[in-house]
Amino acid sequence: MNQHIVQNVGELPTYGFGPRSGPWWGAMGFITLEGMGFAVAVGAYLYLYAVNPTWPIGAPPPDLWPGSLATALYLLSVIPNQYTNRVAHRQDLRKVRACLIVMSLIGIVLLVLRGFEFAHLNTRWDNSAYGSIVWLILGLHTTHLATDLADTVVLTVLMFTSHAKPRRFSDVTDNVFYWNFVVLAWLPLYVLLDWVPRL
């Protein structure tokens, strides 16, 4: 039996960036599922808001300072996040290491601020339908924040070991992509949780 080699692909790279990377498509699927989860939770919040004559139910609105401070930090984090993307594409290991440390610290600070946000919601999760939906929405976003922080910390550690292979730079850009989703998802939630109760 004769074998005909159509094309030798041995010289092609074993990794890629963005849509040329399998993990990027996995992240896209993950983001789509999570986005639907947020949409359902926001729909439930808006339904409860529409059918109740007073909102919030049996509680004052959340204190503004924790959510507002976190929102400012989320927006500022886009700058080092995009720089991380740039140096990862250039495969500049030294700068990627520094950027990942910065992003890890930002994630830790935001997680601490999230604790203050929960403490200043001015309602318990079991106090009313309002309390339940607010805690649910904030809890959902906290899960995404913690997931990205864990991924960033793991990537940071890997980049300081022998696992800092060229394909890891693609993983860093996927992490950057997911962080953008975490930030973009938070902005409408901030308005919903902190400002809608004040309307």
pLDDT tens string 3-59: 766 676 566 566 667 666 777 787 788 788 888 999 999 999 999 999 999 999 989
What pLDDT was estimated at residue 116?
Answer: 97
Domains and CATH numbers, the chain: 63-198 (1.20.120.80)
| Amino acid identity for residue 98 in this structure | A
Task: For residues 51 and 28, give the distance between their C-alpha atoms in angstroms, rounded to a whole number.
Answer: 35
Q: Give pLDDT tens digits for 53-73.
A: 999 998 999 999 999 999 999
In this prediction, residue 104 carries a pLDDT of 97
Q: What is the pTM for the complete model shown?
A: 0.86
Mean pLDDT calculated for residue range 164-170? 84
* pLDDT attached to residue 13: 60
Contacts 24+ apart (CB under 8 A), 96-101: 96/159, 96/169, 96/172, 97/156, 97/159, 97/160, 100/152, 100/155, 100/156, 100/159, 100/172, 101/156
